[in-house]
Amino acid sequence: MIKILVTDGMDKGAVCTLKDMGHEVTEQFFEPEELKEQAKNFNVMIVRSATKVRKEIIDEALKTENLKLIIRGGVGMDNIDVSYAESQGIKVRNTPKASSSAVAELALGHMFSLARFIGIANVTMRESKWNKKQYKGLELYGKTLGIVGFGRIGKELAKKAKVLGMKIIYTDILGPAKDFPEYSFISLDKLLVDSDFISLHVPGNKDKSPVIGKSEFSKMKDGVYLINCARGSVVDEKALIEALNSGKLAGAGIDVFSEEPTKNFELVKHEKVSVTPHIGASTKEAQKRIGEEIVSIIKEYF
């Protein structure tokens, strides 16, 4: 019997499957100090973004040598000290295939919200304002979408945006992608200059320095829209607010923040911002796929 700790929630069907396989599953969130003690008792730890599995927690788990596998239900693993865990013989896995469509759809949702003033119109109408003349938007059709990071999510977004009639350009640290001749690979600098919408789908720099900061904003065309459904560290939030206030950016769609839950209410309440609380993978379908992938990982490992 394998003892499994699920700290941040998991698809109920997947939990039932694990129990039917004869495993003991505990579903409970623990604060860091308590997690240090609890980590000693489990063979598998399944986390999402809320739980941080840092060196001190891993060190405590090593005292009993029970913990063999840490699974991140999602893509990004910056909340886990991956290198240290694996150097100590603890395997770390994630579920990169499961949430691509969900995140791509949210990025598109933010684009629609900004281009057609859907978010701010909801707010002002609830304040009994009829701002029909102020909300002359624009169509996504015919606009250039620049995708920074052309992995699974970037490719899924490109496919969906192309159907809407957008022109797709992209950049990626690995260079041009094979089998995607319909999209144009260009440098980051050229992408910043040429795009009407820019969507970020990169894991971020290891040193937490922003991929998009003051210098990058200065290269963008006036009136561009920026979407970040990747990681909060990818964008310099102070420079982002400056770009919004100056008019360099027409709007920003933000799902992730440098600190979560965010305390940057100047950004959250900005009238040019469409904002969500890190819900990129939060669809019923994605969570079911994540659960299925987690079950597969556990079956394969043990």
* Pairing, β 184-185 against β 69-72: unpaired
CA–CA distance, 299 with 132 (Å, rounded to integer): 56
From the candidates 260, 266, 271, 285, give the one annotated as an active-site residue.
260
Residue 26 makes CB contacts below 8 A (sequence gap 6+) with: 3, 4, 5, 6, 42
pLDDT at 208 exceeding the cut of 90: no
pLDDT tens across 228-257, in order? 999 999 999 999 999 999 999 999 999 999
From the candidates 72, 110, 278, 289, give the one annotated as an active-site residue.
278
CA–CA distances in Å: residue 216 to residues 210, 224, 234, 241: 10, 12, 12, 14
pLDDT tens across 256-293, in order? 999 999 999 999 999 999 999 999 999 999 999 999 99
Structural domains of the chain in order of their starting residue, each with its CATH number: 3-95+284-301 (3.40.50.720), 100-275 (3.40.50.720)
pLDDT of residue 212: 98
pLDDT tens across 217-226, in order? 999 999 999 9
- Nearest alpha carbon to residue 78 among 67, 94, 59: 94
Is 278 an annotated catalytic residue? yes
Report, as an integer, the average pLDDT of 6-17: 96
pLDDT of residue 284: 96
Give percent of the chain above pLDDT 70.
Answer: 100
Is 201 an annotated catalytic residue? no
User: Quick check: 63 and 90 in contact, CB under 8 A?
Assistant: no
Task: Check residue 69 and report its DSSP letter.
Answer: E
CB crowding 243-281: b at 16 or more within 10 Å, else e: bbeeebbbbbbbbbbbeeebebeebeebebbbbbebebb
- Nearest alpha carbon to residue 288 among 4, 75, 13: 13
pLDDT at 206 exceeding the cut of 90: no
- Spell out the long-range contacts of 87-90 with Cβ–Cβ below 8 A and sequence spacing 24 or more: 88/58, 88/62, 90/58, 90/61
- For the chain, give me the number of helices (H) and strands (E)? 12, 12
Report, as an integer, the average pLDDT of 73-92: 95
CA–CA distance, 147 with 154 (Å, rounded to integer): 6
pLDDT at 34 exceeding the cut of 90: yes
Report, as an integer, the average pLDDT of 94-106: 95
CA–CA distance, 76 with 204 (Å, rounded to integer): 9
User: Quick check: 147 and 170 in contact, CB under 8 A?
Assistant: yes
Residue 35 makes CB contacts below 8 A (sequence gap 6+) with: 7, 51, 57
For residue 232, which phi and psi values (nearest 5 degrees)?
-60, -35
User: Quick check: 246 and 252 in contact, CB under 8 A?
Assistant: no
**Average pLDDT in the chain:** 96
Q: How many Cα atoms sit within 13 Å of 85 on the Cβ side?
A: 24
Overall pTM surpassing 0.85 (yes/no): yes
Is 216 an annotated catalytic residue? no
From the candidates 231, 237, 270, 289, give the one annotated as an active-site residue.
231
User: Which of the four pLDDT bands, split at 50, 70 and 90, describes residue 204?
Assistant: confident
CA–CA distance, 207 with 168 (Å, rounded to integer): 29
pLDDT of residue 8: 95
- Nearest alpha carbon to residue 183 among 201, 166, 203, 200: 166
Give percent of the chain above pLDDT 90.
Answer: 95
pLDDT of residue 55: 97
